[in-house]
Amino acid sequence: MTKVKPLFRYAGGKAKLLKKYAPFFAGLRPEYCVDYFGGSGTMSLWFHQLYPDAKLYLNEKDPALYNVFTCLKDDYDNFCNAMYFIEEHISENFVGFASKKALYYMIRQQYNAFDEIGIVKDEELDDFSHLIDQALIDEYYELTEEEKNELYWADPCKFLDFQEDAIYKHACYLFLRKMGFSGTNERNRHGEYSSAAGIYSPTQSCYHPEVLADFKAMLDYAELHNQDYRDLDIHLPRTLHYFDPPYVNTGKNLFVNRFDWEQTEALCEYIQRVSEHSTVFMSHYDHPRLKKLMKGLHWYTFPGIGGMHNKRKGESVREILFYKVHPSIAG
Ligand SMILES: C[S@@+](CC[C@H](N)C(=O)[O-])C[C@H]1O[C@@H](n2cnc3c(N)ncnc32)[C@H](O)[C@@H]1O
């Protein structure tokens, strides 16, 4: 019960910490779990494994990621088709590191060209082949690496005939988070997705049906939210409230909504209030200021595992888990 397959590998994700967390979460009996800073949704996936009957509230402030979750929940088959399409019809034609990288930047550019559109509910929408110009792809495939680069940079949008197809757009976003650098959500000043490619293998695939199926199974127990954590306002008995905010001082562009100390203090006060009547957990990195702010709660610290928070200014950074279990859900 300490392994889940995340939807995408994420620097801020908690998949690698579950073994450390397990003793604190095991044996609890919550009826509701609230994941205030959902990110990749990994903790919600784990809660579903630990507490299969609990209702989940999965919140994520990034609307693009929220749209991926919503689409997976409400339009599962079409979303899978779109991912399969990207995998089979597009990725297959871009063989090798350089081509895969070029494909990533091409899809990124096209993704950013989409206008903000709502989710379309179109039961018929299961064929995405109209989005690709196969003749161009074939032509591209015949070229040398140098020629491919030249062609790509001349007009990166040339290969896909972009249409306002919301499901395809959300699938592209999952592709980008899966293939982007550490799964992060970097944005430029225009709000465009700008994470660099993070392809680690020339055969890396973006479509994993079993991962999508597990995520969908969790989503069937979840209510999705796209709000600031303070606006969730969930007051239910026997609830586990989990907070995994952007850590203070994380790189400027890594998370769109990074937290400074003022916001972190406000969050700690919020958690302190919730802890008076309910069970709370908060993940963070170990810092004396946080221990003061979280006075009255228990904590457990351990060395950071993987990710990019391990080393800051040459010092190794420890993780901390703050917690206070309410008797109503204690095992
Ligand atoms: C550290 S990540 C969470 C990682 C997650 N636990 C996982 O395992 O993937 C923090 C997330 O909080 C979101 N976020 C940032 N500011 C927020 C806010 N004010 N309210 C809710 N979510 C926010 C970010 O978009 C980011 O996905």
Q: Give pLDDT tens digits for 73-82.
A: 999 988 998 8
- Distance (angstroms) between ligand 1 centre and the Cα of 55 equals 20
**pLDDT of the residue at 164:** 43
Question: Which atom of ligand 1 approaches the CA of 35 most closely?
Answer: 6
Find out whether the beta carbon of 8 lies less than 6 Å from any atom of ligand 1: no
| Tokens 């908690």 sit on residue | 14
Find out whether the beta carbon of 183 lies less than 6 Å from any atom of ligand 1: no
**pLDDT of the residue at 82:** 87
Question: Which atom of ligand 1 approaches the CA of 242 most closely?
Answer: 6
Encode pLDDT of 283-322 as tens digits. 999 999 999 999 999 999 999 876 555 455 556 689 999 9
pTM of the model: 0.87
In the predicted model, what is the mean pLDDT of residues 148-152? 63
Find out whether the beta carbon of 319 lies less than 6 Å from any atom of ligand 1: no
Residue, of 88 and 206, whose pLDDT is higher: 206
Q: Is the per-residue pLDDT at 226 higher than 50?
A: yes
Encode pLDDT of 82-109 as tens digits. 898 888 877 777 888 888 888 888 888 8
| Tokens 């579903």 sit on residue | 48
Ligand 1, atom 13, residue with closest C-alpha: 37
In the predicted model, what is the mean pLDDT of residues 124-134? 51
- Distance (angstroms) between ligand 1 centre and the Cα of 246 equals 6
Find out whether the beta carbon of 255 lies less than 6 Å from any atom of ligand 1: yes
- Distance (angstroms) between ligand 1 centre and the Cα of 58 equals 11
| Tokens 């979460």 sit on residue | 25
**pLDDT of the residue at 125:** 43
- Distance (angstroms) between ligand 1 centre and the Cα of 50 equals 21
Find out whether the beta carbon of 243 lies less than 6 Å from any atom of ligand 1: no
**pLDDT of the residue at 243:** 98
Domain spans of the chain, in order of start: 15-61+227-329, 67-207
Q: Is the per-residue pLDDT at 264 higher than 70?
A: yes
Q: Residues 6 or more apart from 160 whose CB is under 8 A from it?
A: 90, 106, 107, 110, 131, 132, 133
- Helix 42-50, helix 209-219: angle, nearest 10: 70
Beta 318-324 vs 222-225: how paired, if at all?
A: unpaired
Mean pLDDT value across the chain: 85
| Cβ-defined contacts of 162-165 (< 8 Å, 24+) | 162/110, 162/113, 162/114, 162/131, 163/130, 163/131, 164/114, 164/115, 164/117, 165/120, 165/125, 165/128, 165/131
Residue, of 269 and 188, whose pLDDT is higher: 269
**pLDDT of the residue at 154:** 59
pLDDT grade for 113, boundaries at 50, 70 and 90: confident
Q: Is the per-residue pLDDT at 157 higher than 60?
A: no
- Distance (angstroms) between ligand 1 centre and the Cα of 175 equals 19
In the predicted model, what is the mean pLDDT of residues 33-50? 98
Q: Which CATH number fits domain 15-61+227-329: 3.30.300.30, 3.40.50.300, 1.20.120.80, 3.40.50.150?
A: 3.40.50.150
